[in-house]
Amino acid sequence: MEYLKINGESKLTGEVKISGAKNAALPLIAATILAKNEISICNMPNVVDINTLLKLIDKLGGTFKKEETCIKIDTSKLNKTTATYDIVKTMRASILVLGPILARFGHCEVSLPGGCAIGQRPVDLHLKALEAMGAQIKINHGYIEATAPNGLKGTKIVFDKVTVGGTENTVMAAALADGVTTIVNAAKEPEVQQLCEVIKDAGVLIEGIGTDTLIIHGTNRKLLEFKDFDVIPDRIEAGTYLCAAAITNSKLKISKVNPIHLEAILSKLEEMNFKLIQDETSITVLPTDEIKPVNIVTREYPGFPTDMQAQFMALATQANGVSTIDERLFENRFMHVSELLRLGADIHLNGNIATINGKANSLNGTDVMATDLRASSALVLSALVAKGETSIHRIYHLDRGYEDLEGKLNQIGARVDRFNE
């Protein structure tokens, strides 16, 4: 198994170019199942999760070709409807093929996603929405078996909770349904917005994009003619490099980003006393004479993203005072705390609230273990400021979502090496 060795007490400098968003690209690849034509998607991040979903498309009978950051996907000859355990177990986002396959073929079988480090993450809301659209769903031998022999019917769906994946699955199913589907309490994340825009450009009328009520006028199983497009920049990768600049108190430019998608993150960095210079596609962080503590509550977009919580906890260890982080989305997303303690941080947990005594102890390099994607990036950030050497094990989590992490970090002055255990 591979691990990263990071020499700490780094100063960063220069510019990092942000890749396309994994969490936008995943539903967009799933959406190609609704297409009758080959689609070229550019600004694709080169990360393991994308390759996993492409493998699933291939297993289902689709084809793909990679050309630099573009991928041409052709699902016109898709002829299988089962997403098997061997792929679904490695990536929960595989559940996103359920809506489009069911809508196109009238049946679909997807292995139930397995346990995940950050919480239970049920898919009940995805299934309820599809049932409301007329699907019959059974759970059989660990598989979700969904059938809709006469196609899906547009209806009104009111989500109990805001769910990103649930909204995406429902939008894709509704695109080929018979009639109009209204989703109330829909997710508004930029990744959901891009999915809706791309499906709209393919000829499906979608009203309310970017609001919490989406109205989708389905095509009654007529496949869509997609246009080629670019994936939006990864706001979480951008946020992670902004934290890398902040935690090392360095001047760093983060480019190829959309600052509008980063507002909640930027406002917390400003509260922590960092000056930011912005234009339409870049943000430069300037060093500060004092990192101030911060209070964070994770929420759905446009609130502060849960996917940035671990990175801000690492940053809060360097603040002058006591910070708090209240995690509201996932019940078990504090796995990084025990590893940060191993590095010498002073953090107390009480239910879903973490209290971080900044600067109480300085961080010292040691061996730590990555437990999930963003927990791993918190360890990388901490290692950048820790004294001495930190070895981060189980980095396959990082490879799921960060393109060329050590290449990008080394280019801006960090000292990161990858080894085999």
Ligand X SMILES: CC(=O)N[C@H]1[C@@H](OP(=O)(O)OP(=O)(O)OC[C@H]2O[C@@H](n3ccc(=O)[nH]c3=O)[C@H](O)[C@@H]2O)O[C@H](CO)[C@@H](O)[C@@H]1O
Q: Which does 234 bind (CB under 5 to 8 A by kind): ligand PEP, ligand X, none?
A: none
Question: Smallest distance from the beta carbon of 272 to ligand X, in angstroms?
Answer: 22
User: Is 56 annotated as contributing to ligand binding?
Assistant: no
Nearer to ligand PEP (CB atom), residue 8 or residue 305: 305
Among positions 119, 179, 210, 303, the unique one binding ligand X when judged by CB under 6 A: 119
Strand duo 213-217 + 180-184: pairing: antiparallel
Q: Strands, DSSP E only, in 250-357?
A: 252-255, 276-278, 282-285, 295-297, 322-326, 347-350, 353-357
Catalytic residues: 116
Q: Which does 401 bind (CB under 5 to 8 A by kind): ligand PEP, ligand X, none?
A: ligand PEP
Nearer to ligand X (CB atom), residue 234 or residue 339: 234
Among positions 104, 126, 268, 397, the unique one binding ligand X when judged by CB under 6 A: 126
Q: Which does 104 bind (CB under 5 to 8 A by kind): ligand PEP, ligand X, none?
A: none
Q: Which does 80 bind (CB under 5 to 8 A by kind): ligand PEP, ligand X, none?
A: none
Nearest to 237 by CA among 38, 374, 85, 72: 374
Task: Give 59's DSSP letter.
Answer: H
Interatomic CA distance for residues 285 and 148, integer angstroms: 52
Strand duo 205-207 + 156-158: pairing: unpaired
Q: Please report whether residue 23 would count as binding ligand PEP according to CB under 6 A.
A: yes
Nearer to ligand PEP (CB atom), residue 104 or residue 374: 374
- Where residue 388 falls (left for φ over 0; alpha for ψ -120 to 50; beta otherwise) is left
Q: In the Cβ-directed half-sphere of 94, how many Cα atoms lie within 13 Å? A: 32
Q: Please report whether residue 164 would count as binding ligand X according to CB under 6 A.
A: yes
Question: Smallest distance from the beta carbon of 119 to ligand X, in angstroms?
Answer: 5
Within 302-331, the residues that bind ligand PEP by CB under 6 A are: 307
> Do 352 and 328 contact (CB within 8 A), yes or no?
yes
Q: Please report whether residue 329 would count as binding ligand X according to CB under 6 A.
A: yes
Interatomic CA distance for residues 7 and 383, integer angstroms: 7
Q: Please report whether residue 121 would count as binding ligand X according to CB under 6 A.
A: yes
Q: Please report whether residue 308 would count as binding ligand X according to CB under 6 A.
A: no
Q: Please report whether residue 401 would count as binding ligand PEP according to CB under 6 A.
A: yes
Q: In the Cβ-directed half-sphere of 136, how many Cα atoms lie within 13 Å? A: 5
Q: Please report whether residue 27 would count as binding ligand PEP according to CB under 6 A.
A: no
Interatomic CA distance for residues 66 and 196, integer angstroms: 24
Interatomic CA distance for residues 401 and 341, integer angstroms: 24
Listed in sequence order, the residues at least 6 apart from 131 whose beta carbon sits closer than 8 Å to its beta carbon are 137
Mark the segment that binds ligand X (CB under 6 A) among 117-125, 239-247, 288-296, 317-325: 117-125
Please give the residue ranges that form the binding site for ligand PEP (CB under 6 A): 23, 92-93, 307, 373-374, 401
User: Which residue positions form the known binding site for phosphoenolpyruvate?
Assistant: 22-23
Please give the residue ranges that form the binding site for ligand X (CB under 6 A): 23, 26, 93, 119, 121-126, 161, 163-166, 191, 306-307, 329-330
